[in-house]
């Protein structure tokens, strides 16, 4: 299987991306749309949600219910991504030991986690009974 995206920029630093029947805009400056690193963080967190859900089922946490992820990307002096962290809140009651198992499994399942260099893998915490 192959994934294809067409990215077009007529001028400036903003680009329109055609993804199947969808269109999204990314602006490297962040002035007209989310910037590239914000988009990466959103993509990473969005990929992590189903990985957490499957990890929860597979590691005896059951249905996690509502899931919220606050994704933070710290930048270095060159404005490049230096670290990523996820603060995850779930509706389900999850003890610390089970949460660690769910995170470990989610890290194995998340395709974006696999695609980013290892020193940018998100440091993750889960808070149960959050809602």
Question: Could you tell me if 21 and 50 lie in one domain?
Answer: no
pTM above 0.85, yes or no: yes
Which structural domain range is residue 8 located in? 1-34
Contact partners, residue 21, CB within 8 Å, separation at least 6: none
pLDDT tens sequence across 41-84: 999 999 999 999 999 999 999 999 999 999 999 999 999 999 99
* CA distance linking residue 29 with residue 71, whole number of Å: 20
Question: Could you tell me if 64 and 117 lie in one domain?
Answer: yes
What CATH number does the domain containing 48 carry?
Answer: 3.30.300.20
Question: Could you tell me if 21 and 82 lie in one domain?
Answer: no
Token pair 């329109």: residue: 16
Q: What DSSP state is assigned to residue 119?
A: G
């Amino acid at each position: 299987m192959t994934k294809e995206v067409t990215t077009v920029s007529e001028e400036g630093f903003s680009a329109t991306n055609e993804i199947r029947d969808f269109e999204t805009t990314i602006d490297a400056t962040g002035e007209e749309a989310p910037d590239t690193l914000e988009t990466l963080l959103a993509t990473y967190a969005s990929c992590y949600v189903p990985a957490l859900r499957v990890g929860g089922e597979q590691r005896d946490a059951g249905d996690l219910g509502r899931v919220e992820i606050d994704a933070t990307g710290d930048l270095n002096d060159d404005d490049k991504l230096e670290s990523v962290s996820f603060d995850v809140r779930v509706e389900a009651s999850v003890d610390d030991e089970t949460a660690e198992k769910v995170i470990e499994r989610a890290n194995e399942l998340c395709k974006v986690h696999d695609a980013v260099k290892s020193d940018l893998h998100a440091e993750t915490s889960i808070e149960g009974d959050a809602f």
